Chain A
Amino acid sequence: MKFDILKHKLVPHHEILKEKEVEKLLRTYNIRKENLPRILTTDPVVQAIGAKEGDVIKIVRESPTAGTSVAYRLVVSKGIE
């Protein structure tokens, strides 16, 4: 790798969600995985943290209104079908 993109101030904290946490997340919002926003497998951050297709990524954003806010994205190989 050329340099660590995860350290750039525009890039929020990404982490791969564990299986159990994914289940809990889907249950609390009463949704399916496909309802989550997406992130592509080709995304530089996805490659940097080594996520695979089907993983759910937890993103802790620094928000100007809420301090920190948590978002989730599903790793997919392509955009909208």
Chain B
Amino acid sequence: MSKTTVNALLKRGIKKKLAEKVAQYYTLKELQTIEYGELEKKIGKEAEEIFNKLGRKVEKKKTKVKKEEKERKRETKAKKKVKKKVEKKKERRGKGAGKGAGKEKKEEKKKKEETIEGRIKRILKEKNEYLPFSIIEEIVEKVEKNNLQDKIEQIVEKAVEEYNNHLMEPFEACGIVAAQSIGEPGTQMTMRTFHYAGVAEINVTLGLPRLIEIVDARSEPSTPMMTVYLEGAYRVNKEKAKEIANKIEITRLINIAQVETDLGNMRVVVRPNLKVMSRKNIEIGNIVESLKKLNKVEIKEGDGIIEVLPQQETYRELRRLTEEVKNLKIKGLDGIKRAIIRKEGDEYVIYTEGSNFEKVLELEGVDRTRTITNDIRAIYNVLGIEAARNAIINEAYATLREQGLNVDIRHIMLVADIMTSDGTIRPIGRQGVSGEKGSVIARAAFEITVDHLLRASRRGEKDELKGVAENIIVGQPIQLGTGSVELAIDVKKLSKVRK
């Protein structure tokens, strides 16, 4: 089954299950030229749906085809019966040999009915071996392409061998390897650490500072941003997309009106800019309503201006009020400073400067399955630890990738696994993973040596000497690689060997 075919079918509005089923037999090209009857034979009534979705006409040979099919079935059935009879006769004649042949034939039939994927899985189960799903998929694709059906067993054997060769050995220091693999390209990053203008005109922290930010699990990124995908009509209609962008972008009073302090009359004068307001879909009523929520003020409306009068007529109070009025939120979500609409492929996507993941997901018209933020903490709070793990991997990998550095994603996955292993996001470093090690000496070897030793001596802590750092300090072999394996000799067998 090829993934590309499945995806192509999904795009044409065919359900996933059906698409996967069809893709086992045909590629998209074949589907566009295949005859209806043939397709129907393989997958039954659902063939009609596929033809409709692909925009092809169902030819009305249906009945004929069906009849032919039935006839064929009858024929094959009859043949089968004959075969069976023959087999039975054979069995009766020569017990052992006949039975074996019958079984073999049955097995052959089974093999033909099974999909290639099923066969591979069966072979693996028989051999008690494991191959990841992506490799199985790859084998299936290659086998189909090159017609290697009868060599599957050998292929799987070889694949298993290669796969097992490439696995990490037990007690191999995968953490050190990951640290070095990320660290070395990191040294190249420092040289060109700039704030690149990322997507649209939004400035996003990239390079080393961003990588440190991810690994340190900061509560908020220095440049939060969101990619908001839309659904339904909002997805393809620019006006509708704009509507949502206006809803999430924060609008303060100063953005849509002039705010002046009138010292003579002890008042704050608001002169709304009608042009900007109409663009943002705001009416004077909205402003007045927001102003009314302010404490201890009097509001007068009229003649294109709005007056705000403080209750206490003091100079200080007036200054404070002016600032408050200027920064008054009229519309939008907290934290989102700017929203930009971009067309990507056939849909409109909103990029935002600033992030408010939870609130945005509650809005109508926002695609709740694809919208993402670069604020990993927010993802953790809204979608949970596993989503946060995925976010860490995606963000770290994208950051390295953007700098043209090719770090194997497995190293980053390991880092993300460690960071999320206890159900919360722990930073790597003094406050997190390294600082929580069980061994005193290992902690002391990392940072703030004296503090750790002093505290440990006061508490009377014990060190089991199980880790790497403490054993090096003490001068013992470390529990890694060959150091973690002990040899035992069976003396009785040894004497046999000598002989």
Which residues of A come within 8 Å of B, CB atoms?
2-5, 7-12, 14, 37-40, 43-46, 59, 61, 63-69, 73, 76, 79-80
Once the chains are docked, how many angstroms separate the CA of A69 from the CA of B383? 20
- Residue from B132, B137, B387 whose CB has the most chain A CB atoms within 10 Å: B387
Nearest neighbor of A77 in chain B, beta-carbon distance: B423
Residues of A contacting B421 in the complex (Cβ-Cβ under 8 angstroms): 37-38
Instruction: Establish whether residues A7 and B369, one from each chain, have CB atoms under 8 Å apart when the complex forms.
Output: yes
Query: Quick check: is B382 within 8 A (CB to CB) of the other chain?
Result: yes
User: In whole angstroms, how far apart are the Cα atoms of A45 and B384 in the complex?
Assistant: 6
**Size bracket of the B interface:** 20 to 34
Q: List 16 A-B contacts (CB under 8 A).
A: A2-B361, A3-B368, A5-B368, A8-B369, A10-B390, A11-B383, A11-B386, A37-B423, A39-B384, A44-B384, A45-B385, A61-B386, A63-B134, A65-B410, A66-B134, A79-B423
Chain B 90-144 interface residues, beta-carbon cutoff 8 Å to A: 132-137
- What residues of B have a CB within 8 angstroms of the CB of A14 in the complex? 386
**Could you list 12 further interchain pairs (A-B, Cβ under 8 angstroms) beyond the known A39-B423, A66-B133, A67-B132?**
A4-B368, A10-B391, A11-B386, A37-B423, A39-B385, A39-B386, A43-B384, A44-B383, A46-B384, A67-B136, A73-B423, A79-B424
Residue B370 CB within 8 A of the other chain: yes
Q: Is B409 an interface residue (CB 8 A)?
A: yes
Give chain B residues whose Cβ lies under 8 Å from the Cβ of A59. Answer: 386
A7 in complex: contacting residue of B368, B390, B420, CB < 8 Å:
B368
Q: Is the CB of A44 within 8 A of B382?
A: yes
Question: Nearest Cβ distance between residue B168 and chain A, in whole angstroms?
Answer: 13
Residue B422, interface by CB 8 Å: yes
Are A11's CB and B423's CB within 8 A? no
The secondary-structure label for the interface of chain B is helix
A68 and B390 alpha carbons, distance in the complex (Å): 13
Chain B residues with Cβ below 8 Å from A7 are 368-369
Complex partner residue of B385 from A43, A64, A69, CB under 8 angstroms = A43
CB–CB A76/B423 < 8 A: yes
- Residue of B136, B386, B420 with most partner-chain A CB within 10 A: B386
B384 close to A64 (CB less than 8 A): no
How far is it, in angstroms, between the C-alpha of A80 and the C-alpha of B436 when the chains are bound?
A: 9
Would you give the shortest CB distance from B59 to chain A, in whole angstroms?
Answer: 38
Task: Name the one of B134, B387, B417 contacting A8, with C-beta atoms under 8 angstroms.
Answer: B387
Docked-complex contact A11 and B410, CB < 8 angstroms: no
B interface list, Cβ under 8 A from A:
132-137, 361-362, 368-370, 372, 379, 381-387, 390-391, 409-410, 413, 417, 420-424, 436
**Minimum CB–CB distance for B120 against chain A, Å:** 13
Contact A9–B386 (Cβ < 8 Å): no
- Minimum CB–CB distance for B163 against chain A, Å: 10
| Contact, CB under 8 Å: B385 / A40 | yes
Which A residues touch B379, using CB under 8 A? 10
Residues in chain A near residue B372, CB distance under 8 A = 10
User: With a CB–CB cut-off of 8 A, which chain B residues contact A4?
Assistant: 368
Distance in Å: Cβ of B488 to nearest Cβ of chain A: 20
Taking CB as reference atom, which chain A residue is nearest B368?
A3
A40: nearest residue on chain B (CB-CB)?
B423
A45 touches B132 (CB 8 A): no
Does B423 lie within 8 Å of A9, measured CB to CB? no
Alpha-carbon distance between A69 and B134 when the two chains are bound, in angstroms: 10
Contact among A5, A37, A67, A79 with B382 in the assembled complex (CB-CB below 8 Å) = A5
Q: In the complex, A66→B405 CA distance in Å?
A: 22
Complex contacts, B410 vs chain A, CB 8 Å: 65
Report whether A8 and B383 are in contact in the complex, using a CB–CB cutoff of 8 Å. yes
Whether B132 lies near A66 (C-beta < 8 A) is: yes
User: Min CB distance, A66 to chain B, in Å?
Assistant: 4
A5-B383, A67-B133 known; A38 vs B368 contact (CB < 8 Å): no
Q: Are B386 and A12 in contact (CB under 8 A)?
A: yes
Bound together, the chains give a CA A10 to CA B388 distance in angstroms of 8
- In angstroms, Cα B360 to Cα A2, docked, is 12
A66 CA to B193 CA in the complex, in Å? 33
Q: Which of A38, A40, A43, A73 is the most central at the interface, judged by chain B CB atoms within 10 Å of its CB? A: A43
Name A65's contact: one of B134, B361, B381, B417 (CB within 8 Å): B134
Residues of chain B with a CB closer than 8 A to A45's CB: 383-387
Q: How far is the CA of A64 from the CA of B133 in the complex (A)?
A: 11
CB atoms of A80 and B422 under 8 A apart: yes
Q: Contacting A5 at CB < 8 Å: which of B132, B136, B384, B391?
A: B384
- Cα distance A5–B382 in the bound complex, in angstroms: 8
Q: Say yes or no: A65-B387 contact (C-beta < 8 A), given A8-B368, A73-B423.
A: no
The 6 closest A-B pairs by CB, nearest first: A67-B133, A67-B134, A66-B132, A45-B384, A10-B387, A38-B423
How far is A11 from B413 in the complex, measured between Cα atoms in Å?
16
B387 touches A11 (CB 8 A): yes
